[in-house]
Structure 1
Amino acid sequence: MTSINGYPARPSVRAGDVLRLHISTSAPRFRVDFYRWGATPQHAGHAEWPGRTAAPGTFDRDWQWPAYEFPVPSDWRSGAYIAVLSTEPSSCTPPMDSREARILLVVTPSAPSGRKILYKIPTFTYHAYNTAGGGSLYSASQVTTRRPGCGIGGPVKGLPDPYDSTSPRQTFAHWDAPFIAWMEENGLESDFCTDLDLHEGRHLNDGYRLLVAAGHDEYWTSNTRRNVTAFRDAGGNIANFGANTCWWRVAVSPNGAGLTCAKFPPGAPAGTDPDSSYGCPDHWWESEPENALLGVSYRSGGGHWDGLRAPLGFTVTDGDHWIFSGTGLKTGDAFGREAALIGYECDGAAYEIDAAGRPRPTGQDGTPKDFEILGIAPLPSDWNFAAREPTTSPHAATLGLYTAVGTVFTAATTDWARLLATDPQVASITRNVITRLS
C-alpha cells in the first residue's frame, strides 16, 4: 500500500517567501495541492516532486524527513491553507480534513494589508494534543513540532465529541474551520497568523484593530502573552470565541521546533492529575493569572469531556448591552441551551451577586473589577473542575468583556463556533463583537 504524509518546517510562511515541507512517501512521484480555507476551499496551486521515503520518528525529536521547497506566490492572500498530499491524480476536490496526507499552513501577509482583523491559529495547542510518534504533552514534558500533525494530518489525543462526530476535538476542522468559514460567508475579512508568529513579535504592530481566536487556545508562551498584552495596552482589541484559554505555559526552542511544558508538581507520583494539583510550574494561574488579560480562567469554569452533557446555555444578565443588539434577547433570557452551547470546556470569573441581583466579579482571581458579566451559566456538579484558590464563587461560564485601553471580549466556551451556522443569536452576537471591535 502506498503511503504519504508530511509536515512543514514552520507552521506559517509570508506570501512571496519559500515554504519548506518535509514529506515521506513510498511512491516514486507525488503531488501537493494547496487549498485556501474559507466559505469553500479554493484551489491555489500545486507542485509535483519525486518521492523519497523515511522512517517515522519519535514524538520528542525532529523527524528530519526529506525536504521540498515551494515558492509561495506573492499574490496568495493571507489565510489558513491545507496542503493535500496525493500519489494518484484526482478529478474532484478531496476532503480537507484527514489524519494523514494533510498539512495545515498559515500564509501571512507580505506587507501590512490594511485589514483590521488578525485571526490567530493555535498551533501550540494542536501540537500539545498531537500523538504522532507515540506521545504528546499529556504523556511527556517535551514534543517536537517537526512531525506530522498540528490540527490536521496526524493522530490526536482526546475523546470523541457527541455533538460533532465529523472531526476530532483539538483539530483545525473542529474548531477553526467553521469559524473561519462563517466569517468569510459574512464578509468579515481578516489576515491570519499563528501563535508562533505572535511569540516572535510579528504582525501585531501592523495596523490591526482586533485579534480574534476561537475554539481551544490552551497553550501560550510568555512571549505570546506579553505581546498580546502590549497590543491591548496600545489600544488593540481582543475577541476570544473559545475557552480553556492560556491555561498552560509552554516554552519554544530557539529554532521553533520544540515545545516544553512542566505540568506536574515536583515529586508528583505517577497518575497525578495536574489540573487538580497545586504547585504546577507551568500553570499560568499559579504565577500570573490569565484573568488579568482575558477576564476569565478555566479554574472558575470546568469541563465535561465524555459523552452528552446537560444542555446549558447562557442566561443574559444585561439585555441592553450592545453585544445583544438585534438578537431579541432580554435580561433573564437564555440562549444556546438546546444545542448545549456551554462546554465541552468553559471559562469563568469568581463572582458575587450584587444588590440588583446581577453577578459582579470579585477580582480575587485576577479578573479586572470592571469586567462586565453579560451572560452566565452555573455548572452542574458532575463536571470536571480544576484546582483554584479558596473562593465561595460557584463554578460558572461567564461571558463578558472589559476595557483597559483596548477591549477584551470572551465567549467563555469552546463550542461557540459549533453553533454559528445554526443559532442566529450566537451568530448575531459574534457579528456585533467583531464589527464593533474591528
Structure 2
Amino acid sequence: MESIRARALTGARVASDRLSRRRWLQIGIAGGSGAAIITSGCLSEDESAGSDDERDGGPNSGEESEESEAVERTLSSENDRDGDDGWKPRVSPSERPEHVEHLIEGYTGETSVLPGDSLEFYVRTDDDWTYRIDVYRLGWYDGDGGRLTTTIPSSGDSRGTDQPIPEPDPETGEVACDWDVTDVLEVPVDWLSGLYLARFVLTSGPEAGTSTTHPFVVRPHPDRDPAVLVQLPLATAQAYNGWGGKSLYDHTSEGEPANVVSHDRPYVNEVTFHLNYAVHLLRFLEQEGYDVAYVCDSDVHRDPSLVENQGVVLSAGHDEYWSRPQRLAFQRAVDAGSNVGFFGANIAYWQVRYENDARSMVCYKHTVEDDPIQDERRTGLFRDVGLPECELLGVQGWGAGLYNFPNFTVQEDAMDHPWMANTGFEPGDEILAVVGPEWDWVRDDCPPPGEYTNFFHYEEGTSDLEIERPADADAIAYNSEAGGTVFSAGTLGYTRAIDPDPDWNRGWPYVRVREYAPSIADPDPRLQEFTRNLLDDFVNSSR
C-alpha cells in the first residue's frame, strides 16, 4: 500500500493566489432567467421577484439581468455579488422549548429542492399581523456571509394565519404540524446549489421586526458535475430541535424525549446554532472558490449514488445522525477510491430510519428495546449494529469539554507530509482552543483501516481546563485500499478555525471559549493553508 506521505500534491498552485485557484477549480452552469416566481398568502397569480431597488433596497432579490442569461454561473461569480448579513443570528440561541414565543414561525415542505422545483412554506402568526419571507443563500460574499436572493411576496406583505400547535404523539413523542400552505416559491432554474435560509419576519403588530428562520438546501442542477460534494447535517439540527416540547434529547424536551422527530415543524432557535460548524466550512470553501455543491443527509439516504459516484465528498460539521443507506454509501465511496473528508466530530454516531418520505426521523436512542424493528435497521449506536465509526472515519469518540477547549499539538512525524507545505507549522506548535466541544481519537481497539498520518493530537490530561469527558483527540488521514484518501478532523472546532471571519458565531459554546481564548475571534492561517493543501490534493487526485 502506498504510504500517505508519499502522495504528492498535483497541479500548480500559488498559495497566495486565490483567484488562480478559482480559475482552475470551477465549473459553471448555464444561467437562466433567475426570476423567483412566488405565491404568497391568498394570492392566486404568480408574482416575479422584485428588482434590486425593491424591499428597502435589498440586493439581488432573486433576479438576473438579461445579460446574465447568456453567462455561465460559477461559485466565484456568485460570491462576487452583493452580500447581505440579514441571515446572521439575531438573538442568543436557546434550545429550550419553553423559550419559544410563537410570535412568528414556519417551516418548508422539503429539506432540499432542485433548481426549477416548487417549495412550499407553512407560516404561522396572528391573523391580524402581516409578514414577509426573506430567503438568503449562505456563502462568503466578501464577508457578508449571505445574499438576499428573494423576498416573498415581492411587494407588500402577506396576511398572517393562526395555525394550531400540535400535541406530541402519545406513543412516539413526534410533533408534526399539518398546517396550510401559506406561500410557494418556484425555485429559479439557475439558482446555485447551497444552504439557504428562510427568515420569517413580522412586518406589523406590536412585535414587528421579530423573526425566526428555517433552512433548506438547493441541490446541484442535474447538468452540474461539481468537483466537491458537501453533505449538510439537517438531521442533526432536527434531532436537537425542541419545538413543540420534544426532541431526541432530555435537555430540549418537556418530559421524556421523543423517539421520532419531524421536519414538519419550525425550529426553536436560530438554526445556525447546530448548523454553525457546517456554515464555518462552507464560508471557507466559497471564499477559496472551490467548485462545490451541496446536499443534505436525507438526499443521500434517498439516492446513495450521489456520494458513490462522486470523486470528492465532504461531511460538514456536526453530522451525527445517519441512516444505514447513508453509511453504506460513504463506505462504498471509500472502497471505490473516492477522497472523503470528515470536517467535524461525533460523525455517523446514531443510526436512524426515515419514514413519511423522509419527513420523519426515527431513533430509539435510549430505549433500543422498544424499537419495533430489531434487525440491522434497528436504531441506536452504529457501533452496536456492526458499523463502528472507526471503520469509516479512522477515528471514533467521543470526548467532550462543553465550553472548555484544549489545544491540538502538531506531530513531528507529519512534518514531511505534502499537506504541511507552506503552512508555517513546526513540530510541537499548538492550535489553540480547537479541540471541542466534542472530539474523536484513534482507538487502539479499532485502528484506521489503512496506513495513516496523525497530523494533530491532544493528549488526555495535558490541559489545565476541566474536561467533562476526558479523552485523546486526533486529526488523521489514511489511505484506502482503492487509492483514495480519507481525512478526519477529529473535532467540531476545526471548521471555526478555518472560517475567514469566524466571529459571527458568538453563541454557545464560543461565548464562553472567547473568555479564555480570545484568539478564536480570528482564523488560524496555518490551518487554513493545511486545509487548502488537503483540498487541492483531493480535487486533483480524485477518481
TM-score, normalised to structure 1, is 0.79
Question: Which stretch of the first structure deviates more once superposed, 377-386 or 76-85?
Answer: 377-386
Distance in 2 (alpha carbons) for counterparts of 1:399 and 1:2: 42
2:149 is matched with 44
What's the CA shift for 1:87? 3.0
- Pairing 1:104–2:215 present: yes
- Separation in structure 2 between the aligned mates of residue 311 and residue 169 of structure 1, nearest angstrom: 25
Distance 2:292 2:218 in 1: 12
Segments of structure 1 that go 5 or more residues without pairing to the other structure are 156-166, 269-279, 352-363, 387-394
Find the counterpart in structure 2 of residue 383 from structure 1: 467
Alignment of 1:283-302 (within 5 A): 283-286=381-384, 287-299=386-398, 302=399
Residues 281 and 204 of structure 1: is their aligned pair in 2 closer, same or farther, counting only changes over 3 Å? closer
Aligned to 1:62: 176
Alignment match, 1:349: 442
- In the TM superposition, residue 54 of structure 1 has moved relative to its aligned partner by 0.6
How far the C-alpha of 1:412 sits from its partner, in A, is 0.5
**Deviations for 1:146-178, whole angstroms, at most 9, x for unmatched residues?**
1112xxxx24xxxxxxxxxxx898522x21222
How far apart are residue 57 of structure 1 and its match?
2.5
> Aligned to 1:116, which of 202, 205, 227?
227
Q: Does the 8 A contact of 1:317 with 1:375 survive in 2?
A: no
In structure 2, the partner of 1:10 is 110
Query: Partner amino acid for 2:428?
Result: D
CA gap of 1:304–1:189, structure 2 versus 1, over 3 A, is same
Letter in 2 for 1:373: N
Aligned letter for 1:329?
Answer: F
Q: Matched residue of 1:380: which SS?
A: coil
1:85 alignment partner AA: F
Determine which of 191, 196, 209 is the counterpart of 2:298. 196
Give TM-score, length-normalised by structure 2: 0.65
**Residue identity in the other structure for 2:162:** T
Report whether the alignment pairs 1:141 with 2:259.
yes
Q: Secondary structure at the match of 2:229?
A: strand
> What is aligned with 1:216?
318
Query: CA–CA distance in 2 between the matches of 1:257 and 1:134?
Result: 18
Q: Which of residues 444, 448, 453 is equivalent to 1:372? A: 453
Quick one: distance in 1 between partners of 2:243 and 2:222?
35
> For 1:38-68, what per-residue CA distance to the aligned partner results, in whole angstroms no more than 9, with x for missing partners?
1131121222244311122246132112213
1:130 to 241, 256, 272: 241
CA distance in 1, matches of 2:496, 2:422: 21
Q: Pick the aligned partner of 2:361 from 250, 254, 259.
A: 259
Counterpart pick for 1:308 among 401, 404, 408: 404
**Structure-2 separation of matches of 1:298 and 1:170:** 22
Look up the SS of the partner of 1:61 in the other structure: coil
8 Å contact kept, 1:197–1:203: no
Letter in 1 for 2:233: P
Counterpart Cα distance in 1 of 2:487 and 2:341? 5
> Are the equivalent residues in 2 in contact too, given 1:327–1:429 (CA < 8 A)?
yes
Structure whose residues are more often helix by fraction: 2
Q: CA deviation at 1:207?
A: 5.8
State the 1:261 CA deviation: 1.3
For 1:316 and 1:413, how far apart are their aligned partners in 2?
Answer: 20
CA contact (8 A) 1:313 1:341 kept: no
The answer (yes or no) to whether the contact 1:245–1:298 under 8 Å persists in 2 is no
Instruction: Evaluate the alpha carbon distance shift between residue 2 and residue 103 of structure 1 in structure 2; reply closer, same or farther with a 3 A threshold.
Output: closer
| CA apart distance, 1:311 | 4.3
Q: Is 1:434 aligned to 2:535, yes or no?
A: yes
3-state SS of the aligned residue for 1:103? strand
- Identify the residue that residue 380 of structure 2 maps to in structure 1: 282
3-state SS of paired residue (2:123): strand
Q: Is the 8 A contact 2:232 2:278 kept in 1?
A: yes
CA contact (8 A) 2:458 2:474 kept: yes
Aligned match of 1:53: 162
> Secondary structure of 1:231's match?
helix
The 1-side partners of 2:272 and 2:340 are apart by 24
Q: Is the 8 A contact 2:408 2:457 kept in 1?
A: no
- 2:430 counterpart letter in structure 1: F
Matched residue of 1:146: which SS? Answer: coil
Q: Please, which moves more after superposition, 367-376 or 399-408? A: 367-376
Tell me the CA shift for residue 131 of structure 1: 0.8
Distance 1:102 1:414, change over 3 A: same
Q: Is the 8 A contact 1:264 1:281 kept in 2?
A: no
Instruction: Measure, in 1, the Cα distance between the counterparts of 2:167 and 2:461.
Output: 40
Q: Deviations over 1:4-37 (max 9, x none)?
A: 2111122100011111221112155432121111
Deviations 1:233-287 (A, max 9, x none): 222211111101111111111421211212226689xxxxxxxxxxx96111223
Change (3 A) 1:207 1:229: closer
Q: Which moved more, 1:222-231 or 1:49-58?
A: 49-58
* 1:414 alignment partner AA: L
Alignment of 1:380-419 (within 5 A): 380=461, 383-385=467-469, 395-404=471-480, 405=482, 406-419=484-497
In the alignment, the residues of structure 1 paired with residue 331 and residue 308 of structure 2 have an alpha-carbon distance, to the nearest angstrom, of 15
Instruction: Report the CA distance shift for 1:88/1:346 in structure 2 as closer, same or farther (over 3 A).
Output: same
**Which has the larger share of strand?**
1
Structure 1 residues 198 and 78, CA gap change in structure 2 (3 angstroms) = same
Matched with 1:72 is 187
Gaps of 5+ in 2: 1-100, 169-173, 250-256, 371-377, 501-522
Task: Assess, with a 3 A threshold, how the Cα gap between structure 1 residues 206 and 45 changes in structure 2: closer, same or farther.
Answer: farther
CA contact (8 A) 1:62 1:257 kept: no
Rg larger for: 2
Whether contact under 8 Å (2:133, 2:199) holds in the other structure is yes
Amino acid at match of 1:297: Q
SS where residue 262 of structure 1 aligns?
Answer: coil
Residues 320 and 350 in structure 2, CA contact (< 8 A), matched pair in contact too: yes
